[in-house]
Amino acid sequence: MSFEEKRSWIYAAIAIIVPAVYAVVVLRRLADTDAADVAYVRPLITAVIAAMVLNIVANIVAGMLSRREDVDRKDERDRQIHRIGEFVGFHVMSLAALAPLLLAMAEVDYFWIANALYLAFCLAALGSAVAKIVAYRRGF
């Protein structure tokens, strides 16, 4: 498995785990409170920052556990797979961003708009990572 493929697996895992933890925290709060009154801002900011930090730390650790020449090696196939993954992520984000846009137009609570936008970001990250993993496993 190339280092770039490992990075895609890390990115996919974090794109699933962090939003899942955030969802558990917020759903517990939502069970007792109306959506307009749920304290979601701090957990949302924490989830975004945690995902960034976890990606950085996990990639550093993966790099330290890999051979130096594997980390530095990036060929044309890796660059093409990266482009494909980013292309997929962009289109997933473009489509998923319609939901918060429609929610804003409908003037629903900020809670729903913010969480729909966060979900769009998470789906884009996951879509990008999955596209890269599939390209590595099956070719492109």
Single pTM value for the model: 0.89
pLDDT tens, the chain, 140 aa long = 888 889 999 999 999 999 999 999 999 999 988 988 999 999 999 999 999 999 999 989 988 887 776 666 778 888 999 999 999 999 999 999 999 999 999 999 999 999 999 999 999 999 999 999 999 999 76
Tally of domains within the chain: 1
Q: What angle do CA 135, 8, 78 make, to 5 degrees?
A: 50
Q: Which two tokens stand for residue 103?
A: 């929610």
State the residue range of the domain holding 70: 3-138
Euclidean distance between CA atoms 26 and 3, whole angstroms = 35
CB 4 within 8 A of CB 135: no
Q: Are residues 121 and 93 in contact, defined by beta-carbon separation less than 8 angstroms?
A: yes
pLDDT at 136: 93
